Amino acid sequence: MGKLHDRLEETGYTGHPLEVYLVRILFCLFAEDTTIFNKQQFQEYIEQRTNLDGSDLAAKLQELFQVLNTPKESRFKNLDEQLADFPYVNGKLFEEILPTASFDSKMRQALLDCSYIDWSKISPAIFGSMFQSVMNPKERRNLGAHYTSETNILKLIKPLFLDELWKEFESIKDNKNKLPEFHKKLSTLKFLDPACGCGNFLVITYRELRLLEFEVLKVLNKSGQTFLDVSQILWINVDQFSGIEYEEFPARIAEVAMWLIDHQMNMLVSSEFGQYFIRLPLKKSANIVHADALETNWENVVSKNELSFIIGNPPFIGSKIMKQNQRDQIVKEFDNVDGSGVLDYVTGWYIKAAKYIQDTKIKVAFVSTNSIVQGEQTSILWGQMLNKYKIKIHFAHRTFKWSNEAKGNAAVYCVIVGFANYDTANKSIFEYEDIKGEAHELKAKNVNPYLVDAKDFLITKRTSPLCNVPKMYKGSQPTDGGNFLFTEEEKNDFVAKEPMATKYIKPLISAHEFLNRHKRYCLWLVDAEPSELKRMPHVLNRIEGVRQMRLKSTKQATVKWANQPTLFTENRQPKDNYILVPSHSSENRNYIPIGFMTKDDILNNSCLSVPNATLYHFGILTSIMHMTWVKNQCGRIKSDYRYSNEIVYTNFPWPENPNEKQVKAIEVAAQKVLDARLQFPNSSFADLYDPLTMPPDLIKAHNELDKAVDLAYRPQAFTSEANRMVFLFELYEKYTADLFTKEKPKKTKKTTA
């Protein structure tokens, strides 16, 4: 199909006509292997009716398309018998008159090669995505890139509605009066996928609904009802399904995929009841709208008074890589609320759905990246969802690893959130002990925006810690164009030329250097005497380089700093020794490696510092308890942790009033962690904290530290990460309530003069 596509494109047959042309061929290939056409009917038409050089193939296909779009009674009376034997398809698939294509012998053979394949067993769920990749040669090597796996689709639709429908069926299947009512109910359900792509969600949902109807019909048949005409009792149809898709080609594929899955299900029914049934001509189709979902009034696609469920997998586009028009769409959708400029693209579908379902019983569930339930985005998105639109979360899958059929699949970590405009007593959280494994369901009293069984509240940025602990600061920003910086070799060469500069060259620690134990240095001229600088021409050259770089900047603030070219533009270097926390760290590590540093280790802006910290603080921050908070509150870069002092550190609930014995136990265990690290001076922190290469002594030391920290929180053991998060949220709620009470002004008694 790819070769056929490319050759047609080379001849100048491009754009919309090419897309429609290929969809029609796709339908014909599927049709001749699934009894829509006679067996090999399309293949034989090409083999027997067209020249070997392909010169007349385009004309013959054009003639076939016209026949497929014409009712038999309206066709020419003298039509060739082989053509006349093709059925009337309708469904508008062959309605549009396309420009005539041009074929050659290789293209004809490519089409025949396609027809020699048995298409009948290919699931329409992957069918459309596979076919979409034909349109992009780069994506052909990665055929599953667009494909939402059936497993992930079922994770969404089962708790949203399917499990409940099956449960209802099991409870009434022996009731002759209620079963027909249930069957009628199935035929009235309506679904919308506002980011439908090639229709994977719609196809699988339709299939599952038809399978349930199939079981209903089997029970009715056994109970004595006889079906003289099976077509009269198949009530579920594709027109119960709607979708919105930004690109035209996937939208057209989605329409065809729905017809194909409908036909497969009809064949299943035909086999069971011994009556051949085919919906030809096509009278109904899924309502797939080619449009931008964020610019479209969903009410014009399907009335919310008729709709039952909204499902789908909106686009994964992070805030950092969104185009300006996409950012503008999100800000507009959020009514310019503060912070909306940092939201990921997927949040637009959440807020639009929340607006659409007001005062309805519509339930919604989306697959999305876990950024919407972590970090600063959570309070912005869910602040609107909860407070303005009164949304309640009914179920959620906590973070799991996204998977489809793509080769070299990018690491994407997802959640599924199911919600509505009303509350329910039946809430569930699906927890993953292994994010690549299977989930287990936990019943919940409430599911909050962090997907934890706790009260609804939002964690916002704070400038000071929630608890009585030292503040955390960002590292220093040089903004120097590289003029202050040296590798070890560059430093040695520079000192050889400028020996007086030795005392002004300090280690510069970034997250990369710290984690990998690489060495880098910088000129640190904070206390440099001007008279000394005058005697160091090579240093002066570097300073001038900084000045010129800043003068050329497009940022006015940077230009101003050209007046102080000896200094970093942001100097937050601690005056004493400090704890270092890298801002970014791999999600594969069980612990973020942190360390104690001296005041002469200049901290780069890719790290964070906690000055005046003790072994106790180190022990808490490098414990599994803190890591649980990190996993649930950190923002992410791809899947790696992006540690934030204003969200993660300042809001972290430290142990409540630990006694002297508990503090001492944590300090002793923390020192053992540091001692275990020292046993491996030639290994980087990246090596030491890789789960595959982490030394047993270091694992043992961390386990002892975790136990000591846990006991400072409570005597009972924590049984899971979810268990820890529930406890931390309860503690956070207590601390914030106490803080509010302390900050609330006291009432004073009135006095009289």
Please, what is the angle between helix 660-678 and helix 696-713, to 10°? Answer: 160
3-class SS of residue 470: coil
The pLDDT tens digits of the residues spanning 450-482 come to 999 999 989 989 999 999 999 999 999 999 999
Residues 439/619, Cβ–Cβ less than 8 Å:
no
pLDDT confidence tier of residue 13, bands split at 50, 70 and 90? very high
CA angle 431/437/438 to nearest 5° reads 55
Q: From its phi and psi, is residue 92 left (phi > 0), alpha (psi between -120 and 50) or beta?
A: left
Higher pLDDT: 641 or 24? It is 24
Mean pLDDT of 136-143: 57
Residues 96/68, Cβ–Cβ less than 8 Å:
no
Q: Quote the pLDDT of residue 748.
A: 39
Within its chain, how far is the Cα of 48 from the centroid? 50
- Which residue carries 């009809």 as its tokens? 266
Antiparallel, parallel or unpaired: β 241-245 and 602-603: unpaired
Q: How many Cβ atoms are within 10 Å of 130's Cβ, its own excluded?
A: 20
Residues 458/559, Cβ–Cβ less than 8 Å:
no
Higher pLDDT: 141 or 721? It is 721
Please, what is the angle between helix 624-633 and helix 721-743, to 10°? Answer: 80
Distance CA 40, CA 44 (A): 6
pLDDT confidence tier of residue 403, bands split at 50, 70 and 90? low
Mean pLDDT of 19-36: 88
Q: Quote the pLDDT of residue 99.
A: 92
Mean pLDDT of 138-156: 69
DSSP 648: I
The pLDDT tens digits of the residues spanning 85-109 come to 999 987 678 888 999 999 999 999 9
Residue 639: both structure tokens together: 């899947």
Instruction: Walk across the sheet containing 309-312 and list its strands.
Output: 287-290, 241-245, 191-193, 309-312, 363-369, 413-420, 392-401, 427-431, 440-444
Q: Which of 19, 103, 30 is nearest to 61 (CA)?
A: 103
Q: Average per-residue pLDDT in the chain?
A: 90
Report the range of poorest mean pLDDT among 122-136, 204-218, 288-302, 672-686.
122-136
The pLDDT tens digits of the residues spanning 528-545 come to 999 999 999 999 999 999
Residue 676: both structure tokens together: 């275990």
Mean pLDDT of 6-33: 89
Write the CB contacts of 716 (distance below 8 Å, at least 6 apart in sequence).
Answer: none
Distance CA 473, CA 28 (A): 64
Q: Which of 208, 338, 229 is nearest to 275 (CA)?
A: 229
Radius of gyration of the chain (CA): 33
Residues 364/353, Cβ–Cβ less than 8 Å:
yes
- Check whether 53 has a pLDDT greater than 90: yes
Half-sphere exposure of 507 (CA within 13 A, CB side): 13
Antiparallel, parallel or unpaired: β 584-585 and 635-637: unpaired
Query: Residue 4, exposed/middle/buried by CB under 10 A (0-12, 13-18, 19+)?
Result: buried
pTM: 0.84
Half-sphere exposure of 213 (CA within 13 A, CB side): 24
Write the CB contacts of 593 (distance below 8 Å, at least 6 apart in sequence).
Answer: 514, 515, 582, 585, 622, 685, 686, 688, 689
Q: How many Cβ atoms are within 10 Å of 517's Cβ, its own excluded?
A: 14
List of E strands, 291-380: 309-312, 363-369
Distance CA 648, CA 302 (A): 42
CA-to-CA separations, 740 to 254, 327, 352, 745, in angstroms, rounded? 53, 35, 34, 10
Handedness of CA 371, 377, 379, 383 (dihedral sign): negative
pLDDT confidence tier of residue 160, bands split at 50, 70 and 90? very high
Mean pLDDT of 645-654: 94
pLDDT confidence tier of residue 525, bands split at 50, 70 and 90? very high
The pLDDT tens digits of the residues spanning 175-227 come to 888 999 999 999 999 999 999 988 989 999 999 999 999 999 999 888 766 66
The pLDDT tens digits of the residues spanning 338-378 come to 999 999 999 999 999 999 999 999 999 999 988 899 888 99
pLDDT confidence tier of residue 132, bands split at 50, 70 and 90? low
Q: Quote the pLDDT of residue 437.
A: 82
Distance CA 733, CA 738 (A): 9
Residues 547/562, Cβ–Cβ less than 8 Å:
yes
Please, what is the angle between helix 248-273 and helix 124-134, to 10°? Answer: 150
- Check whether 753 has a pLDDT greater than 60: no
- Check whether 404 has a pLDDT greater than 60: no
DSSP 162: I
β-partners of residue 695 are: none
Residues 633/648, Cβ–Cβ less than 8 Å:
yes
Distance CA 28, CA 51 (A): 20
β-partners of residue 603 are: 509
Q: Quote the pLDDT of residue 30.
A: 87
Distance CA 265, CA 291 (A): 29
- Which residue carries 């990998």 as its tokens? 516
Q: Quote the pLDDT of residue 280.
A: 76
Residue 568: both structure tokens together: 């970093």
CA-to-CA separations, 753 to 193, 746, 748, in angstroms, rounded? 71, 21, 15
Mean pLDDT of 670-685: 96
Q: Quote the pLDDT of residue 406.
A: 46
Write the CB contacts of 277 (distance below 8 Å, at least 6 apart in sequence).
Answer: 230, 231, 234, 266, 269, 270
Antiparallel, parallel or unpaired: β 413-420 and 440-444: unpaired
What amino acid is encoded at 310 in this protein? Answer: I
Distance CA 197, CA 622 (A): 43
pLDDT confidence tier of residue 229, bands split at 50, 70 and 90? confident
Q: Quote the pLDDT of residue 131.
A: 64
